[in-house]
Amino acid sequence: MRELFPGVYAQNGLFYTRNSLKGFKVHGEKLLQDKGSEYREWNPNQSKLCAAIAKGIKHMPITKESKVLYLGAAHGATPSFVADIVGSKGEVYCIEVAPIAMRDLIAVCEKRGNMIPILADARKPEDYEEIGSVDVVFEDVADPQQAEIMNANARFLSKGGYALIAIKSRAINSIEEPAHVYAKVKKILAEAFEIEQEIPLEPFEQDHLFLVLRKK
């Protein structure tokens, strides 16, 4: 088992995190035993963050003990891998607006002490401002205002803090060419962030661009 980044591992072309709750699966992932530790297989076809890792992300700002604001936590699959990475001394604030998804998310969070479910709209960060400052903001929402949402949530980052966003061009504009959509999104994000890396997510996700951002 080779450690790519703190808390992120690879073996035989597959990706893993060390399972912080032995035997517990979130979405049927395979478990691997290696030298007394249990690892969960992280599928890049099911996680945009893992896809970015598979496509060669240069700097992984989510690390051990990180405090992460996760926008668009859905049913909790990728947030649970983030929770594995940050460990018991880290925290993952899971923002989700859909009540049905929240039920599944709460079930995952109840098993992991470092995941906090918050039923809220990521477009209204004032509704969860009590979380305070974080080290990383991660956004994975299907919304035409993805860039504006990220800029609004930049309030939780100090200068130099990192953000990660998976731009879904078809969710922003289903007709316009993805390259044009990306250009518009990057222009809006430039109000608050510098872009450190751009990662097309094909073949794992079509018409998606992953950005590593740093707050100005």
Compute the distance between CA of residue 75 and CA of residue 15 in angstroms, rounded to an integer. 20
pLDDT, residue 151, reads 98
**Structure confidence at residue 210 as a pLDDT band (50, 70, 90):** very high
pLDDT, residue 70, reads 98
pLDDT, residue 128, reads 98
Q: Which two tokens stand for residue 40?
A: 């969960």
| pLDDT tens, residue by residue, 59-105 | 999 999 999 999 999 999 999 999 999 999 999 999 999 999 999 99
Q: Which two tokens stand for residue 165?
A: 């966003």
Q: Do 157 and 137 meet the contact criterion of CB atoms below 8 Å apart?
A: yes
The 3-state secondary structure of 139-168 reads ECCCCCCHHHHHHHHHHHCCCCCEEEEEEE
CATH topology of domain 45-215: Rossmann fold (3.40.50)
- By DSSP bridging, strand 37-42 and strand 31-34 are antiparallel
Mean pLDDT of 136-159: 96
Compute the distance between CA of residue 198 and CA of residue 158 in angstroms, rounded to an integer. 22
Q: Do 139 and 146 meet the contact criterion of CB atoms below 8 Å apart?
A: yes
**Structure confidence at residue 19 as a pLDDT band (50, 70, 90):** very high
pLDDT, residue 27, reads 86
State the average pLDDT for the chain: 96
CB atoms within 10 A of CB 77: 19
Question: Where are the domains positioned within the chain?
Answer: 45-215
pLDDT, residue 130, reads 97
